[in-house]
Amino acid sequence: MSYFEYRGDTLYVEGLPLDQIANQVGTPTYVYSRAALTQNFRAYADACRAHGRGESGAIVCYSVKSNSNLAVLNLLGQLGSGFDIVSGGELLRVLAAGGDPRKVIFSGVGKSEEEIKLALSHDILCFNVESIPELHRLSAIASSMGRQARVSLRVNPDVDPKTHPYISTGLKDNKFGIAFEDALETYRIAHSLPHIEVTGIDCHIGSQLLDDAPLLEALDKVIELVDQLQSMGIALHHLDIGGGIGITYDNEKPVAVADYLARLFKRIDHWRAEKYDGAPISVMFEPGRSIVGNAGVLLTRVEYLKHGATKNFAVVDAAMNDLMRPAMYEAWHGVQSVNRRDATAMSYDVVGPVCESGDWLARNRQLTLAPGDLLAIMSAGAYGMTMASNYNTRGRAAEVLVDGSRFSVIRRRENPKDLFALESIVE
Ligand code: LLP
């Protein structure tokens, strides 16, 4: 169910007209629906429970990079989520939001010494290690701190996720993970290092996957490795299959989370029954986009309508610095008028005020517009605000969380002084 719907000619989020938020908070503003976030998280949690996985049998580690607002993290933490982080900064956010460090897994190819120390001092659940040098660094730091680092190796299964090349991560020539053919040797090294406890295996092949076939193919390869490791005397406690399913931006039809997880658990159960007398293995997921993507919109106001020689432009007050996805991946986001008008539509490119030709949010859209109109850029909850920048000394947008017919500002708009507060003139 969508929580962004028209009532009459006005676009609502849950029980609240979006124009009310724009009038009170201004634009551009990211607006998230609490009910949608909850529903999307529960799709994973309920499917785990339906397949007999309790707290320790499966853990959903929300991918913080997709939307890291403290209120979002806090809500998901309250729903029982763990967290997949990729920096020390993200760990500090999780802690500030009241998240449980024992449900945190740390991914990423370039963990610094400081980040590793911070994570060890909070005794996080697991490091997803991506290289042999990282293993050595982790072991040395853990030894110096008298700590044990729980580790899973991120293996690269060389499976084509059939998604945008910039968000494919599991192919041979991607920078991510440990090559499949090097995995056993790397596990042997990990197993031999002091202060490293090998607990799991991890892979992540890409984002915005609409079909689960590549994920199940990756699972099969991971299962193969787990069996080989078992015969080497390395018994794993968990497997982590990476990010979640893709979402509908336009008319894509992603597989339902419940169907994907049903197939995945069926394979795992069959395998465990056949080879391990049914002894369970814990399963982890790192979904981001499918939890927050369709739970958020970017609210923006039309500044000018500009009728060019070959094109019409709607110049709005949001720009590529607010939502980078169109400029970076030519990503498609729906555009809806917050107050629908009854007049003939025209084709517009929706563009921002930034001085770049790449500063567009949508192209060739049939819209009925007047200056001052409000637009909602749809499906902008994931990789929207977290990828925003201050280019052109533009303060980042405000963020709002809606609950029923009430809303809270969960991040105030940055003002220009915030942007140069850390700078100084040389005397
Ligand atoms: N785990 C790892 C190790 C990841 O690298 C990612 C995303 C995820 C989990 C979460 O995947 P999801 O469930 O969101 O598909 N900025 C791009 C997406 C980059 C994704 C990077 N990794 C975009 O706007 O489409």
User: How many Å apart are CA 180 and CA 172, to the nearest integer?
Assistant: 9
Ligand 1 pocket, residues with Cβ under 6 angstroms: 63, 66, 84, 107, 167, 169, 204, 207-208, 242-244, 286-290, 325, 329, 383
Marked catalytic residue, from 61, 126, 203, 355: 355
User: How many Å apart are CA 36 and CA 376, to the nearest integer?
Assistant: 16
Instruction: Give pLDDT tens digits for 297-341.
Output: 999 999 999 998 899 999 999 999 999 999 999 999 999 999 999
Q: Which atom of ligand 1 is nearest to the CA of 207?
A: 15
Residue 24: Cβ-neighbour burial (10 angstroms; 0-12, 13-18, 19+): exposed
Q: Which residue type does 34 have? A: R
User: How many Å apart are CA 140 and CA 403, to the nearest integer?
Assistant: 47
At 172 the pLDDT is 67
Provide CATH 2.40.37.10 ranges for the chain: 4-32+293-420
CA 227 to centroid of ligand 1, rounded, Å: 28
Fold of 34-289: TIM Barrel (3.20.20)
At 126 the pLDDT is 98
Instruction: Give pLDDT tens digits for 371-403.
Output: 999 999 999 999 999 999 999 999 999 999 999
At 175 the pLDDT is 76
Q: Which residues in the chain land under pLDDT 70?
A: 166-173
Provide CATH 3.20.20.10 ranges for the chain: 34-289
**DSSP calls for 226-282:** HHHHHHTT---SEEE--S-----SSS--PPPHHHHHHHHHHHHHHHHHHHHTT---E
CA 312 to centroid of ligand 1, rounded, Å: 34
User: How many Å apart are CA 218 and CA 203, to the nearest integer?
Assistant: 8
- Is 355 considered catalytic here? yes
At 168 the pLDDT is 67
Q: Which atom of ligand 1 is nearest to the CA of 202?
A: 3
At 54 the pLDDT is 84
CA 406 to centroid of ligand 1, rounded, Å: 30
What's the CATH number for 4-32+293-420? 2.40.37.10
Indicate the pTM of the whole model: 0.97
CA 293 to centroid of ligand 1, rounded, Å: 11
